[in-house]
Amino acid sequence: MNESSNVADKLLNDVRLLRQKLGSDLHDRLAGALYHRAAQVSAVGVHVTGRPAVDWDLGADKILTSRWLGFPIMIFALMAILWLTIQGANVPSGLLADFFFWLEGHLETGMKAIGSPWWLTGFLVNGVYRGLAWVISVMLPPMAIFFPIFTFLEDIGYLPRVSFNLDRLFRWCGANGKQSLTMGMGFGCNAAGVTSCRIIDSPRERLIAILTNNFMLCNGRWPTIILLATVFVAASFNPAWSGIVATATVVAVTLIGVAVTFAMSKFLSSTVLKGEPSHFFLELPPYRKPNLLRIFHRSLIDRTIYVLGRACVTAAPAGAVIWLLGNINAGDQSLMAYAISWLNPIGQFLGMDGVILLAYIVAIPANEIIVPTMIMAYMAGTRMTELDDMGELATLFHNNGWTFTTAICMMLFSLLHYPCATTTWTIYRETGSVKWTIWSNLMPLILAVVVCASVAQLSRWLN
């Protein structure tokens, strides 16, 4: 062993001497020689036989990245996607909900008929089944519309153009333009977004991208925002306008997320992650005709079903937990009533209430189940055990003391709060640092508390 390490030392010594003799431009010379050879080879084997009459790519680029249209097109595309998602999901969501609650009634009757005790029926039907039913009817339709459209934009080659357009803003914040690609991935799933940050070379900029990915609404949170925007915010407007109002609300929340990403990137890069912006280079691939069949397969089977599966796996036990909390009594109150009354002051301070906070706690494993948990908790507290219509949700919320401020605060909290357990674990894996993992949770939480408390205070003053 010793001998071989001596040999290695001698060799490395020779290497050092040779390196000094060669000078510091070795990489230049290697790249030069390799490219020279590459050019020779392609001169022999590659023939350009003509020029296409029209360069469509260039034409499209001149529009999509143009001075006047570049940004409006990006915002318009975002609005169009969300509008289609919200409008398109409305009816199927309602139908699914109708079906599931129709089935619930029959399940309950069926269970009674075969002599199942009340607690078993309650646990399975009102707990587990209802949790699942909510997740599916609220999440499936919007995802089945959103993902294919997003995948379409990804396949056609629009994402790198967004990066190209936005890089200047990222530079102002001391971050990297490729961060917008990782943000795009974050729209699907923050854990995937965090992993994709590997495409950023500079460790400092990569960390900024990782820590701020949380502010991109992931598929676990889209449905929450969409639901609140539709049944609460838009419902207080003229029905003719409700689609537009709902879309505008969701777009606004999304853009607040983008703005917070810029602000936090700037904050990080001028405090704890100080440093010079490094360089940026990005290849803009040609536009490619997407393969529709593949898009549907990838966005529906791979993504929608996967995400839904994950949601169901967490929703079933969450439904069970909620049911148990609501039905196990300690003294004269259920456990849930205790928890809620304990959390209520904090919730009120943040413009929400105890039930919403409880939902956030139960939903730490996956954001998907916040709304279902909340609804189950509200319904456990009232005599109402059935909910046949999405429209009744607004009534349920009103009856529980919701105001416009509650909805706004809940949306903001959902946008900001902290990454889900999977994302937190991914952040730990990618950074290898406990410190940054804790920071990635604390920073958004503090921000969420400050923002929600301020909004709540402001609304108290205004009233």
Ligand X SMILES: Nc1nc2c(ncn2[C@@H]2O[C@H](COP(=O)(O)OP(=O)(O)OP(=O)(O)O)[C@@H](O)[C@H]2O)c(=O)[nH]1
| Min separation Cβ 305 and ligand X, Å | 21
For residues 283 and 338, is the Cβ–Cβ distance under 8 A? no
What one-letter code names the amino acid at 218?
Answer: C
User: Is 35 among the residues that bind another protein (CB under 8 A)?
Assistant: yes
Give the tokens for residue 344: 């209520």
SS3 278: coil
Give the tokens for residue 419: 């990454």
Please pick, from the candidates 79, 107, 111, 169, the single residue that binds another protein as defined by CB under 8 A. Answer: 169
User: Is 281 among the residues that bind another protein (CB under 8 A)?
Assistant: yes
User: Is 302 among the residues that bind another protein (CB under 8 A)?
Assistant: yes
User: Is 388 among the residues that bind another protein (CB under 8 A)?
Assistant: no
Q: How far apart are the first and last CA of the chain?
A: 80
| Min separation Cβ 294 and ligand X, Å | 7
Stretch that binds another protein, among 6-14, 242-250, 340-348, 447-455 (CB under 8 A): 6-14
User: Is 168 among the residues that bind another protein (CB under 8 A)?
Assistant: yes
User: Is 425 among the residues that bind another protein (CB under 8 A)?
Assistant: no
What one-letter code names the amino acid at 143?
Answer: M
Instruction: Give the up-direction half-sphere exposure of residue 434: CA atoms within 13 A in the CB hemisphere.
Output: 0
Q: How far apart are alpha carbons 326 and 375 in whole angstroms?
A: 13
Kind plus residue range of the DSSP H or E element containing 89: helix 70-113
Please pick, from the candidates 121, 126, 179, 196, the single residue that binds another protein as defined by CB under 8 A. Answer: 196
| Min separation Cβ 429 and another protein, Å | 11
Residue numbers at the binding site for ligand X (CB under 6 A): 155, 288
- Binding-site partner at residue 341 among another protein, ligand X, none, CB < 5 to 8 Å by type: none
Stretch that binds another protein, among 54-62, 76-84, 385-393, 432-440 (CB under 8 A): 54-62
- Binding-site partner at residue 99 among ligand X, another protein, none, CB < 5 to 8 Å by type: none
Stretch that binds another protein, among 173-181, 329-337, 379-387, 454-462 (CB under 8 A): 173-181
Torsion angle defined by CA atoms of residues 422, 140, 132 and 441, in that order, rounded to the nearest 10 degrees: 20
Other beta carbons within 10 Å of 139: 30
User: Is 165 among the residues that bind another protein (CB under 8 A)?
Assistant: yes
What one-letter code names the amino acid at 113?
Answer: A
SS3 108: helix
Reference 258, options 69, 436, 78, 72; nearest CA is 78
User: Is 205 among the residues that bind another protein (CB under 8 A)?
Assistant: no
| Min separation Cβ 15 and another protein, Å | 5
| Min separation Cβ 288 and ligand X, Å | 5
Quick note: the x/- pattern for another protein over 8-27, rule CB under 8 A, is: x--xx-xx--xx-xx---xx
Reference 274, options 169, 171, 174, 172; nearest CA is 174
- Binding-site partner at residue 36 among ligand X, another protein, none, CB < 5 to 8 Å by type: another protein
Q: How far apart are alpha carbons 345 and 333 in whole angstroms?
A: 18
Stretch that binds another protein, among 51-59, 323-331, 332-340, 417-425 (CB under 8 A): 51-59
Kind plus residue range of the DSSP H or E element containing 332: none
Reference 376, options 350, 406, 340; nearest CA is 340
- Binding-site partner at residue 296 among ligand X, another protein, none, CB < 5 to 8 Å by type: none
| Min separation Cβ 242 and ligand X, Å | 37
3-state secondary structure labels for all residues of 230-257: HHHHHHHCCHHHHHHHHHHHHHHHHHHH
| Min separation Cβ 158 and another protein, Å | 8
Q: Which is nearer to ligand X, 147 or 402 (CB)?
A: 147
- Binding-site partner at residue 302 among ligand X, another protein, none, CB < 5 to 8 Å by type: another protein
Q: Which is nearer to ligand X, 59 or 286 (CB)?
A: 286
Stretch that binds another protein, among 92-100, 166-174, 253-261, 322-330 (CB under 8 A): 166-174
Q: Which is nearer to ligand X, 61 or 155 (CB)?
A: 155
For residues 64 and 72, is the Cβ–Cβ distance under 8 A? no
DSSP 64-88: HT-TTTHHHHHHHHHHHHHHHHHHH
Q: Which is nearer to another protein, 52 or 331 (CB)?
A: 52
Q: Is 34 exposed, middle or buried (0-12, 13-18, 19+ CB in 10 A)?
A: exposed
226 phi and psi angles, rounded to 5 deg? -65, -45
User: Is 59 among the residues that bind another protein (CB under 8 A)?
Assistant: no
| Min separation Cβ 289 and ligand X, Å | 7
Please pick, from the candidates 89, 124, 139, 159, the single residue that binds another protein as defined by CB under 8 A. Answer: 159
Other beta carbons within 10 Å of 356: 28
Question: Which DSSP state fits 305?
Answer: I
Please pick, from the candidates 33, 75, 259, 442, the single residue that binds another protein as defined by CB under 8 A. Answer: 33
Q: Which is nearer to ligand X, 155 or 430 (CB)?
A: 155
User: Is 62 among the residues that bind another protein (CB under 8 A)?
Assistant: yes
